Amino acid sequence: MAEKFTDDDARDLQPVVQLRPKGNGNLKTARPWQPGQSGNPAGRRPGSRNKLSEDFLQGLHRTWQKHGDRALEAMAIDDPSNFCRLVAGLMPRQIDLSVGVDAAQFVTTFREAVELLGNEPPRKRAKVIEAEVIDADDQ
């Protein structure tokens, strides 16, 4: 069960750095650092997450492990159109498939392979056409 958030909890969450208003006292114009400075010059490490997002993803994973299959089955039965939308959203929108074949290189490689294997490709059988010979002199 989720814990209830109280006013005492809110007091515990006071910011670590207090912004001091400059100029007209407006917090929007307050700057804790001088221009060009940073509170963390190195910045957050690439790929790092904050604690909240880590906890959220772990909770999401646990819940998916418990209920994911049943949730998908229920959606497929109770709401098939949205289930199809979900599946379609997971599919790539565009597939680029380009195959370049250099015909001359293919023929050369094929002939080399046939020679190495020591077998000949099947030859096409010539079609036999039965026809009557017409002599132009007979007419």
Check pLDDT > 70 for residue 7: no
- Note whether 30 and 20 are within 8 A (CB): yes
Closest by alpha carbon to 73, among 54, 58, 91, 86? 86
User: Per-residue confidence at 11, pLDDT binned at 50, 70, 90?
Assistant: low
pLDDT in tens, 73-114: 999 999 999 999 999 999 888 887 777 888 888 888 888 888
Of all residues in the chain, the percent with pLDDT exceeding 90 is 22
Which DSSP string corresponds to 12-46? Answer: HT--SSPPPP-TTS-GGG--SS-TT--SSTT-SPT
Predicted TM-score of the model (pTM)? 0.35
Check pLDDT > 60 for residue 25: no
Check pLDDT > 80 for residue 26: no
